[in-house]
């Protein structure tokens, strides 16, 4: 992969080393902001796309977060959330799109970080072909459904090891943002008081809400309750 310049002239380095399991072992709300700036990379027969993460949401396990899919234990749907860390948890939302999560925390806990948005930094032309409705580059991965579409992530990727260099879906360390904002999670009806959505403050690719929790526009399907 080659480096490039983001819009506005900000230099982007090459993707760094793979993230390690040890870096994902903390509580979901601690690990989540540390994933901002990381690169999620997919290698497909048609080419490679990389997205630099700009918005994430934490979902805690161990039965403490009623908004998490793991709240009812290791059901067939949520079993992957119980580890090991670094696995990709993919689920189908509202029968219309896929969402991608990184499993975090110790094995057996059931925590994950939802990948809400990012900016395409490698393979923009390929991502644009997958996201024909995107009018500008910032919209290619702006929202959890758009992110998975840009990266061609789907059900076959569920359980992928993001920390394995041979995996077609990988999580690389990257340049962290200079400023991070936090606020309520999007589209849930329980545990709404937790400020567990984190985003790169200055990024145009961040979806749905800005500080204060007020919507910029009418929320779409991808911004409603995640289960």
23-33 pLDDT per residue, tens: 999 999 999 99
Contact 38, 162 (CB under 8 A): no
48 within 8 A of 123, measured Cβ to Cβ:
yes
Mean pLDDT of 71-75: 92
| Residue 154, token pair as written in the block | 């789907």
Across residues 41-69, what is the average pLDDT? Answer: 95
Q: Determine the pLDDT at residue 225.
A: 34
User: What's the confidence (pLDDT) of residue 94?
Assistant: 64
pLDDT for res 119: 97
The pLDDT value given to residue 13: 52
Distance of CA 31 to the CA centre of its chain: 12
- Backbone phi and psi for residue 124, each to the nearest 5 degrees, phi listed first: -60, -40
Between these two residues, 225 and 158, which has the higher pLDDT value? 158
Contact present, 124 and 139 (Cβ < 8 Å): no
CATH code of domain 18-209: 3.10.300.10
Q: What is the pLDDT of residue 62?
A: 84
Count of all residues that appear for the chain in the document: 227
Average pLDDT for residues 11-23, to the nearest whole number? 82
Percentage with pLDDT > 70 across the chain? 84
Looking at residue 59, its pLDDT comes to: 97
Chain segment 174-226, per-residue pLDDT in tens: 999 999 999 999 888 899 899 999 999 999 999 856 433 333 333 333 333 33
Q: DSSP class of residue 69?
A: G
Rounded CA gap, 142 and 140, in Å?
6
Which pLDDT band, with edges at 50, 70 and 90, does 97 fall under? confident
* Cβ(127)–Cβ(147) below 8 Å: no
Phi-psi bin for 209: left (phi > 0), alpha (psi -120 to 50), beta? beta
Residue spans of the domains in the chain: they are 18-209
* CA atoms of 194 and 137, how far apart (whole Å): 31
Quick: pLDDT tens for 102-148.
999 999 999 999 999 999 999 999 999 999 989 899 999 999 999 99
């Amino acid at each position: 992969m080659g480096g490039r310049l983001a819009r506005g002239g900000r230099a982007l380095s090459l993707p760094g080393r793979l993230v390690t399991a040890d870096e994902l072992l903390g509580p979901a709300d601690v690990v989540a902001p540390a994933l901002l700036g990381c690169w999620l990379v997919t290698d497909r027969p048609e080419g490679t796309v990389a997205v630099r993460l700009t918005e994430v949401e934490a979902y805690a396990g161990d039965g403490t977060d009623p908004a998490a899919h793991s709240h009812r234990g290791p059901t067939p749907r949520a079993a992957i959330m119980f580890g090991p860390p670094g696995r990709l948890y993919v689920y189908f939302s509202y029968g219309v799109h896929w969402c991608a999560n990184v499993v975090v925390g110790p094995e057996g806990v059931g925590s994950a970080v939802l990948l809400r948005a990012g900016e395409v930094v490698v393979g923009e032309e390929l991502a644009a072909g997958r996201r024909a409705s995107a009018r500008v580059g910032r919209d290619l991965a702006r929202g959890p459904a758009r992110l998975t579409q840009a990266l061609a992530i789907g059900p076959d990727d569920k359980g992928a090891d993001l920390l394995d260099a041979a995996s077609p879906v990988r999580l690389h360390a990257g340049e962290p943002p200079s400023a991070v904002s936090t606020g309520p999670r999007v589209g849930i009806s329980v545990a709404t008081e937790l400020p567990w959505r984190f985003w790169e403050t200055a990024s145009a690719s961040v979806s749905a809400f800005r500080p204060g929790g007020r919507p910029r526009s009418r929320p779409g399907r991808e911004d409603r309750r995640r289960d």
